[in-house]
Amino acid sequence: QLDYISKIRPHISIITNLEKDHIYYHGSFKNYAKAKFKITDNQKLKDFLILNYDNNFLKKNFLKENKTSAKIIWVSTKKPLKKGICLESEN
């Protein structure tokens, strides 16, 4: 569904994972990641993007593809995160 959005601007968006099992639909992992990150395209400085720090694919690919203006909040169920990491991108 994210492939077809263009004007949606969520105040809070959440991306929980990026996994190779979705490549069959998108044709490549790059296309899949691009579709997933599309939810952030229209977010502004007052918006929030919540990301799963425990998902390695998400962590690596988001840091490469990040173009959002939203405040980034990393969450983890496996380890405590420092306040700076939780509130800002690791760029």
What is the spatial distance between Cα 35 and Cα 80, in angstroms, rounded to a whole number? Answer: 29
Residue 17 carries which side chain, given as an amino acid letter? N
pLDDT of residue 52: 92
Task: Pull the structure tokens for residue 88.
Answer: 């800002």
pLDDT of residue 3: 62
Q: How do the pLDDT tens digits run along the chain, 91 residues long?
A: 666 677 788 899 999 988 887 787 888 888 888 888 888 889 999 999 999 999 988 888 777 777 788 998 888 888 877 654 544 444 3
What is the spatial distance between Cα 33 and Cα 49, in angstroms, rounded to a whole number? Answer: 15
pLDDT of residue 14: 92
What is the spatial distance between Cα 66 and Cα 21, in angstroms, rounded to a whole number? Answer: 22
